[in-house]
Structure 1
Amino acid sequence: MNCLEARKYIYDFVQKNWEEEMVEDFLKHLHSCPECQEELRITHMVYHGLRSLDDKEELRIDGSYAELQEEAGRFLFHCHFFSAFRIVSETLVFWAVTFSLICFIAKYGVYLT
Structure 2
Amino acid sequence: MNCLEARKYIYDFVQGNWEEDRLEDFLQHIKTCPDCKEELRVTHMIYHGLRSLDGKENMPVDRSYRKMEEEAEHFLRLGHFFSAVRISSETLVFWALFFSLFYFILGYLPLIFR
What range is the shorter-chain TM-score in?
over 0.9
Answer yes or no: is the 8 Å Cα contact 1:45–1:61 preserved in 2. Answer: yes
Aligned to 1:17: 17
The amino acid of 1:96's aligned partner reads A
Aligned to 2:102: 102
Cα 1:56–1:101 change in 2 (3 A) is closer
> 1:103 & 1:21 partners in 2: Cα distance?
41
The amino acid of 1:18's aligned partner reads W
Task: Give the root-mean-square deviation of aligned CA atoms.
Answer: 1.4
The amino acid of 1:24's aligned partner reads E
Per-residue CA deviation, residues 56-94 of structure 1 (Å, 9 max, x unaligned), is 642410000000000000000011000011000000000
The amino acid of 1:45's aligned partner reads M
Q: How many residues align?
A: 111
- Where does 1:32-71 land on structure 2 (aligned, <5 Å)? 32-55=32-55, 57-71=57-71
Deviation (angstroms), 1:105: 0.6
Uncovered stretches (5+) of structure 1, i.e. residues with no partner: none
1:3 and 2:27 matched: no
Moved >4 Å (runs of 4+): none
Cα 1:101–1:56 change in 2 (3 A) is closer
Secondary structure of 1:58's partner?
coil
How does the TM-score come out when normalised to structure 1?
A: 0.93
The amino acid of 2:80's aligned partner reads H
Cα 1:81–1:63 change in 2 (3 A) is same
How does the TM-score come out when normalised to structure 2?
A: 0.92
Cα 1:93–1:19 change in 2 (3 A) is same
Larger mean CA deviation between 58-67 and 91-100 belongs to 58-67
